[in-house]
Chains A and B, each alone.
Chain A
């Protein structure tokens, strides 16, 4: 693996390592690192970093195109899988710390809380992308792999919608994510257009 992959691994893993430390500390000393509502803090933490890592995944392609950082593409799978890991931990934290694995309650949540429905849908999409992220699957699917992985452009807006729909007041956070996503998408569309006119 290239050196930048290892640096990226450490950087991408940092929020996860923080969470691990915080959980261990909090179990011994409730309130010490995770605040009054530890479950909520963790769910938020993993959700935020999952969404951020999804945007990083997109940004890596932009970095390669605009900043000439050619190695960025090799980091993309790492970034995507990091995002999937954090979002899986996000879901697991909700199931464990907020819902206490009470499946009747969880089923009601899934049906009555629309923001959970779209969040779960986004996670399902990402799980398909995670499973097919290997070179083996790229070979197996060939051109269809590209089409399949375009589902990221559905997953991210669902994630932002999830955040928007759970917000009671204070829309700035969701707006920032939406803005960053919009900028990355514009960059992508412009790059596609100039590729078409060039060839």
Chain B
């Protein structure tokens, strides 16, 4: 889906804390509140709450990374990650953690939830890449929502979700198959 997120530049948020030279990565922790968030009570989910995600410093400071506070002109609803959530549009959706309650600068890469759950399936970078398949399925095509029953709107996936011009430079020289 092409979603009209509204918010503030993540850079503006992080600059307020004046990170020093040791800050190479940023870690984002999501709210853990099973009394309210029913999904967090599920057994056998495989997910070790709270949900944790992270970015490299230059990714976090990039103009396309935002802290989202609104959606379609209204305040962010709970199911979309109220009161604010991350949005890193050139990466797979699981990188954009919701209901962020803690932000931490780190010298080493944060240990993120999905890469702990299935390290061979979910990497730290998780850049949208049609050429690198998930072990169990291909990433080469996508169905763009809204898609109606009779026209599924299947299309080829674009490298970096279409933001290659803006972000490919962050990864020049990196083997994106190895750093998936």
Q: Which residues of A are in contact with B by a Cβ distance under 8 Å?
A: 23, 26-27, 30, 34, 36-39, 42, 96-100, 102, 105, 108-109, 112-115, 165-166, 169-172, 175
Contacts and interface: CB of A to CB of B under 8 A. Distances in A.
B45 A98 contact: no
Contacts of B147: 37, 39
A175 B42 CA distance: 13
Given A105-B141, A170-B45, A175-B44, A30 B136 contact: no
Contacts, number: 67
Given A108-B140, A113-B136, A38 B149 contact: yes
Contacts of B47: 169
Contact of B46 (A23, A39, A169): A169
B21 to A, nearest CB: 37
Nearest to A166: B136
B37 to A, nearest CB: 14
Contact of B137 (A96, A113, A172): A113
A99 B140 CA distance: 13
B170 interface: no
A30 B148 contact: yes
Given A30-B148, A38-B148, A169-B117, A112 B42 contact: no
A123 B172 CA distance: 45
Interface stretch (B24-32, B69-77, B150-158): B150-158
Given A108-B140, A112-B138, A34 B149 contact: yes
A178 to B, nearest CB: 11
A82 B157 CA distance: 37
